[in-house]
Each structure stands twice: as C-alpha cells, then as structure tokens.
Amino acid sequence: MTRKDFTDALGRAIAFGVAMADKRANTINSVTPEAAASIERDLAFLLASEDTEEKAILYAEAAAIRDQNCGRRMVLRGLVEFSSYCGNSCLYCGLNRNNPKAERYRLTRDEVLECAELIYRAKIQTIVLQSGEDNYPADWLADIIREIKVRYDMAITLSAGERKREDFALWKDAGADRYLMRVESSDATLYAALHKDRELDTRLRSLRDLRSLGYQTGSGIMVGPPGQTLEHIARDIVFFSEYDFDMIGIGPFIPHPDTPFRGEKAGTVALTLNTVALTRIVTRNAWLPATTALGSLDRDYRVDALRAGANVVMPNFSPASVKKKYEIYPGKKCVGENTGACAFCMDRLAEQAGLDLDYSRADSLKSGAEHS
C-alpha cells in the first residue's frame, strides 16, 4: 500500500518544480531557507523509498513530466575521451594524478577529428569532448573546436574540468556551445572530503563563469560516495533547480581499486534511480543522461533510468585503443566494443524505454538559453 505521507511528499515535490519554473519566468532563482529546508525534508524522505509500488509511481510521474516538457524522446551525444592525464586528485577517480597504474594518453588533433567524423557519419549532432584536468594549452583545444565547426554542423560540448575564465572564453569564441562540470556535492564539507586540496567555492566560480560566458551548462553528482547522506542528495537537487542547469548527469559511485576509496561501498541502483526521478520532477526540462556508470554494473540499468525520467544517452566514440585506458571507475560499459556497434544498441535502448530515438542536436530547453 502506498503510504499517504509518500503521495503527499510527492505532490509537494511536483508543486515545488512548478513553482520554481514560475519563479524563473520572473527571473527569481532562489528559495527562502525555510522553503528549502521543508522541500529538502520531503526529497530526502522520497529518496529513501524502497517500496516497489511507490517507486513505480515516482518513476511514472518523472517520465510523464519528461514527456510533457522535453518530448517522448531519447537524444544522443557522441563522447570522445581525448586525454586521460589529470593533475587533480579526486579521491574516487581512477584517473587521479596519484594513481601510477592509470594509463595516460592524449589523442592527437587528427585523432580527435577522426572521432568527430565517425560521430557525424552516425548522424549524431553533438560531440562531447571530455578529458581529465590535463594542462594542455587552451589554444590547442580551441583549434580543434574551430576545425570541427568548419567541417561539421554539430554542437560541441566540453567536459574538461576547471580552467581559467579566459580559457573558457577562448573555447566559447572558438565555437564551443556547452560545458559539463559536475558539482559532485553542493555541500562544502562533503565536497572537501571527496577532493583533496579543492574547495566547493572554486567549483562554483567555474560554473558561474561558464554560465556568464553563454555556455549551456551541465552539472551533476555521483550517488553513494563515502559520507554522502540522503539530505546531501536532497540539497543537491534543490541546488540543481536554483542553478537551473541545462543538463544534469547522475550516476552511482563505483569504487576503483587504485584509489583511496577502494574499500568503500558502491552507490545503489535504487537510490540512483530515485535521484534521477526526483531531479526530473524538480527540474522539469533539463537534459538528464542515463549515465554510462548505470550501464556498467551487473546489468545495463540505463533503460531503467530512461523509464524514470532520463532522456539522453552518450555512446562512446573514443578510439578502441584508448577506451580501456579512460578508467574513471572499473567495469566501464562498452570498452570492448567497436565504435560503430553503438547504433544498434541505441535503437534497442530507446525501444525498450518506449522512447523515440532522436538525432537532433537537442539544445537547451531553458528559456533564454543561447542556441548557436
């Protein structure tokens, strides 16, 4: 039996999403501390739900809100992991600079362009260029961005970590459209516990820089890293709504054997799906990927995320020779596949999720966002 307090809390979460959308229409983006505290209690309560019937209601509500606000479709982004060098030391990440076992590579300009060609031929209209925090010259990447824009009509998303504002500006001028930077946690204490020598404020400054430069901006979190509570996740969801991100990536934490978090427990599928669904309910028209991490567990749970409100999949177009080396977490999906194998897989995923496969470039659905 669905509990009445569950349906009440769900009703308030839905109303909060609608109210935030209305507020934004009047350019108000903040919530009073009392309202935040109250909705965070509801969200934490809903996140904890383990009841099959309740979860079915939650996912169906999220899917309906997705369908109304974004259409009944699954959009594609072609991912290219162009450098596994990283000067950062996130305690959870296999690419952190203190992992001597990580295999490092950086693709050449021509290799990146070959990946772009494959994405273009697959008819996908967004390329996501992702790397560790590798200190390559900003000009090097700007040149690649320009060349992709000359050759192909596609959106360019960057996911290259924190850099100087000038670098972000240079890449934007070169033609980049979007930038993904997960906040990992909007709580300063938890953020500091997950990242040696880093603070939340610097992350937030980068996110503000990106937004003010006109990037369609994405963020996100992992579910289940050490120290994260339901209250943290609830606050992150409110944070996503206040920042009004265009895209939000959410995946389970998967312990990597060559990191300080090797002995920790993985994030659960159930909590990850509840987080995706509630993020959809609260943010309404953001793009939410069914993340590769969700596809990399005992089975492929991306279809479950798509049924719970997600609407993006990012097939991996990195060259086969390097896919295995970009090991953020172990057991990563599709590292053994040939690049082309994904198209078939995408058809099946969309069909299983009951969504139309959509090859459009799928820009931000937020009002006022730049569409170049």
Tokens of 328: 């953020």
- Indicate the residue type of 337: E
Rounded Cα distance between 198 and 202, Å, is 8
Q: How far is the CB of 251 from ligand 5AD (least distance, A)?
A: 5
Q: Nearest-CA neighbor of 254 among 209, 214, 287, 222? A: 222
Q: Is 342 in the site for ligand FES (CB under 6 A)?
A: no
Q: How far is the CB of 326 from ligand 5AD (least distance, A)?
A: 10
Q: For 101-137, give one letter per residue: b (16+ CB within 10 A) or e.
A: ebeebbbeeebbbebbebbbebebbbbbbbbbbbeee
Cα–Cα–Cα angle for 274, 276, 278, rounded to 5 degrees: 65
Q: Is 95 in the site for ligand FES (CB under 6 A)?
A: yes
Pick the closer one to ligand FES by CB: 198 or 211.
198
Tokens of 358: 């959509």
253 binds, among ligand FES, ligand 5AD, none (CB under 5 to 8 A by kind): ligand 5AD
Of 26-34, 36-44, 86-94, 224-232, which part binds ligand FES (CB under 6 A)?
A: 86-94
251 binds, among ligand 5AD, ligand FES, none (CB under 5 to 8 A by kind): ligand 5AD
Half-sphere exposure of 69 (CA within 13 A, CB side): 26
Residue of 9, 20, 86, 144 interacting with ligand FES (CB under 6 A) = 86
**Residues from 144 through 163 that contact ligand FES (CB under 6 A):** 161
132 binds, among ligand FES, ligand 5AD, none (CB under 5 to 8 A by kind): ligand FES
- Indicate the residue type of 309: G
Rounded Cα distance between 290 and 111, Å, is 27
Cβ–Cβ < 8 Å for 94, 124: no
Rounded Cα distance between 253 and 231, Å, is 17
133 binds, among ligand FES, ligand 5AD, none (CB under 5 to 8 A by kind): ligand FES
Q: How far is the CB of 311 from ligand FES (least distance, A)?
A: 26
Q: 266: which DSSP letter?
A: P
Measured at CB, which residue is nearest to ligand FES? 90
254 binds, among ligand FES, ligand 5AD, none (CB under 5 to 8 A by kind): ligand 5AD
**Residues from 158 through 197 that contact ligand FES (CB under 6 A):** 161
Pick the closer one to ligand FES by CB: 161 or 309.
161
256 binds, among ligand 5AD, ligand FES, none (CB under 5 to 8 A by kind): ligand 5AD
358 binds, among ligand 5AD, ligand FES, none (CB under 5 to 8 A by kind): none
Rounded Cα distance between 182 and 162, Å, is 11
Q: Nearest-CA neighbor of 57 among 13, 16, 22? A: 13
Residues making contact with ligand 5AD (CB under 6 A)? 92-93, 182, 184, 222, 251, 253-254, 256, 293, 328-329
Could you tell me which residues are beta bridge partners of residue 178?
A: 157, 216
Tokens of 309: 């409100």
Those residues whose C-beta lies under 8 Å from the C-beta of residue 98, and which sit 6 or more positions away, are 89
**Residues from 104 through 143 that contact ligand FES (CB under 6 A):** 132-133
Residue of 70, 74, 93, 233 interacting with ligand FES (CB under 6 A) = 93
Cβ–Cβ < 8 Å for 246, 286: yes
Q: How far is the CB of 93 from ligand FES (least distance, A)?
A: 4
Q: How far is the CB of 191 from ligand FES (least distance, A)?
A: 12
Interacting residues toward ligand FES by CB under 6 A: 86, 88, 90, 93, 95-96, 132-133, 161
